[in-house]
Amino acid sequence: MAVTIKDIAKEAGVSVSAVSLVLNNRPCRISEEKRKQIREIAQRHHYAPNQAARSLVTKESRMLAFILPDIENVFFSSLAKRIEDCCRREGYMLLIANSNDQYEQDKVLLRNISARGVDGIFIIVSNESYRYKSKLIQELQNLPIPYVMVDRVYEQFVCDKVLYDNEQGAYLAVQHLQENGHTRIGCVVNTASNNGRLRLQGYKRALKEKGIKFDPRYVAQGDYHFESGYQAAQELLKTDITAAFVSNDMMAMGFLKKLYECGLTVPQQFSLVGYDNSLSPFILGVDLTSVAQDPQRLGEEACQLLFTRLKDSQAPAKMVCLPPQLIVRNSVGKME
């Protein structure tokens, strides 16, 4: 039978409330020695507080939730793992929920998860939720608990948020191709996504700085999945491009597959830069140059924001914009 807080109190010779205060790390006048003894007894008996009952008292569940758009995307699953590690270190459990990149799911998950009494929420909103911006902002503002927007944020909306600078990341990628002599540079981008639109802006800025006219024939749509990168390559390889900036690594893999099928070698005959720096170990023979958005860093910043907010609900909202980093490998070659 499971041990109760009463059993522990009895064994330690203290009151039930003393045990509760110690196990919940609350300030109290109990000697360090006694505290140690209480914790030791609890541990020995594998004492687990009834969470529902516990949260009625402490108003804390020690559970956080992370709503994300696509659990199968390596960048997001890796980020989830980093956030979870960070939460565990602070004594929080993390629940993960997949919105399937749908606004309706963002809404339903926010409502239902907060109603289950978690202490706070990390959210990467669906791309659809950029179309329902004011509605989703309403949902966020109605939340009875703290939240942090991660990776995909509403620029004008004031709340705790952390993201990588997407415009700058794309700019670095294209600039690197230009520095290697490329002028006809393809771009595979997902303009259905806000971050995708920002990456397209970065691409355009790099062109503009070199006085190169933007050519829409060099831009192909993708949806961040492997197959769309393959399709985009099919389309763009009909033009005279010598290089491409592909705005995530999953699509870059698809693009590479097409290059491989066409017998084009990288970087001898074609140069390529990806985004996310998430797949490099998986690619054989090609070491993909890619824009790194370290999930570790993003996860830690997100946790820091939420932990701070949990301690002080009145602190001013904070926005953290992280600089992406170009990781140069061998997938970009010099144009003669």
Q: Which is nearer to a copy of itself, 258 or 309 (CB)?
A: 258
* 327 SS3 class: strand
Please tell me the number of Cα atoms within 13 Å of 94 on its side-chain side: 23
Question: Within 148-177, which residues bind a copy of itself (CB under 8 A)?
Answer: none
Instruction: Select the span of 93-101, 150-158, 309-317, 321-329 touching a copy of itself (CB under 8 A).
Output: 93-101
Q: How far is the CB of 133 from a copy of itself (least distance, A)?
A: 16
Q: Which of 14, 38, 41, 63 binds a copy of itself (CB under 8 A)?
A: 63
Instruction: By CB under 8 A, tell whether 283 contacts a copy of itself.
Output: yes
Nearest to 148 by CA among 136, 162, 134, 158: 162
* 259 SS3 class: helix
Q: How far is the CB of 87 from a copy of itself (least distance, A)?
A: 10
Distances, alpha carbon 92 to alpha carbons 58, 119, 189, 328, in Å: 14, 9, 37, 37
Pattern 19-48, binding to a copy of itself, x per CB under 8 A?
A: -----------------------------x
CA 12 to CA 20: how far, in whole Å? 12
Residues in the chain: 336
Radius of gyration of the chain (CA): 25
Q: Which is nearer to a copy of itself, 150 or 206 (CB)?
A: 150
CA 226 to CA 224: how far, in whole Å? 7
Query: What is the total count of residues that contact a copy of itself (CB under 8 A)?
Result: 51
Instruction: By CB under 8 A, tell whether 257 contacts a copy of itself.
Output: yes
CA 49 to CA 4: how far, in whole Å? 8
Contacting residues toward a copy of itself, per CB under 8 A: 2, 48, 50-52, 61-63, 65, 70-72, 74, 77-78, 80-81, 84-85, 88, 93-98, 100, 108-109, 111-113, 115-118, 142, 226-227, 253-254, 256-257, 260, 279, 281-286
